[in-house]
Amino acid sequence: MRSQLRADASPFLGLALVAEKLPEAKDALHALSDWRLNVLMQKFGYAVSWAICATLSEHYGEDGNAKVWPLVENILGRTLKLPDERKLISGAFRRSCQKLGLASDGFDRSVQAFQVHAGVSRSQLHHLARVFIAQERSIGLPEQDDIVMLNRWEDDALHFLDAGVHVLQRPILMDHSAWMASAYVDWRRDRNALLETSSYLKHFGRVAV
């Protein structure tokens, strides 16, 4: 897992591997659903951490569902009935993040760490596209080669979010590389720029129209 994180890749763990790998990962984790949870997390901590984030990236917010743990249970193929089981997963997730050099502390709830490293879910990309469009209309596009200004442009765009839309703010504010804003600028300069990228960015380009 760690060896597949490229320097130029998305900063979000959920997008570290292509989404097409998620069904395969789900089948593998379901096949291991009879393993003790602590053994699973010790042996496959990186893979489980990615699978959790990738699942949230793909499915969080679908049909208006804002719950996180049912999605985690679904990808793992097991019901997490005890609080200690959730704590075990959260602790292993934080350790994986630490080893990968990702933020792992300072979250009010464990699910916030999952959401930050999942990135903006597909179901909420239209909200992000909308605020970027509003920000562009307000002050224009940022310069991509000035990472400080690009990141400030991205963060300030969140002021245009509709009331009640909060979850997508976390990954955007935690991403100092302004990866999503850079993708938006690419798209605005060339509507075909995202066609050769990941299915995630292709979707972002579609909802930004």
Q: Give pLDDT tens digits for 29-69.
A: 999 999 999 999 999 999 999 999 999 999 999 988 899 99
The first and second tokens of residue 151, run together, are 């990141």
pLDDT attached to residue 110: 84
Question: DSSP assignment, residue 58?
Answer: H
Mean pLDDT of 115-124: 97
**Cβ(158)–Cβ(172) under 8 Å?**
yes
pLDDT attached to residue 64: 85
Q: Give tens-digit pLDDT for 75-108.
A: 999 999 899 999 999 999 999 999 999 998 888 7
Confidence band (pLDDT; 50, 70, 90) for 3? Answer: very low
Q: How far apart are CA 50 and CA 52, in angstroms?
A: 5
Residues 130-169, buried b or exposed e (16+ Cβ, 10 A)? bbbeebbeeeeebeeeeeeebbebbbebbeebeeeeebbb
Residues 36-60, buried b or exposed e (16+ Cβ, 10 A)? ebeebbeebbbbbbbbbbbbbbbbb
Name the E strands within 67-209: none
Confidence band (pLDDT; 50, 70, 90) for 2? Answer: very low
The first and second tokens of residue 74, run together, are 């679904």
Confidence band (pLDDT; 50, 70, 90) for 5? Answer: very low
Q: 133 or 1: whose pLDDT is higher?
A: 133
Which residue from 38, 18, 139 is spatially nearest to 87, judged by alpha carbons? Answer: 38
The first and second tokens of residue 126, run together, are 């239209």
**Cβ(2)–Cβ(49) under 8 Å?**
no
Which residues, 6 or more positions from 10, have their beta carbon under 8 angstroms from its beta carbon?
16, 119, 179, 198, 200
Torsions phi, psi for 184 (to 5 deg): -65, -45
Mean pLDDT of 128-143: 97
| pTM listed for this prediction | 0.93
Q: Give tens-digit pLDDT for 162-195.
A: 988 999 999 999 999 999 999 999 999 999 999 9
Torsions phi, psi for 51 (to 5 deg): -60, -40
pLDDT attached to residue 105: 86
% of the chain exceeding 90 in pLDDT: 87
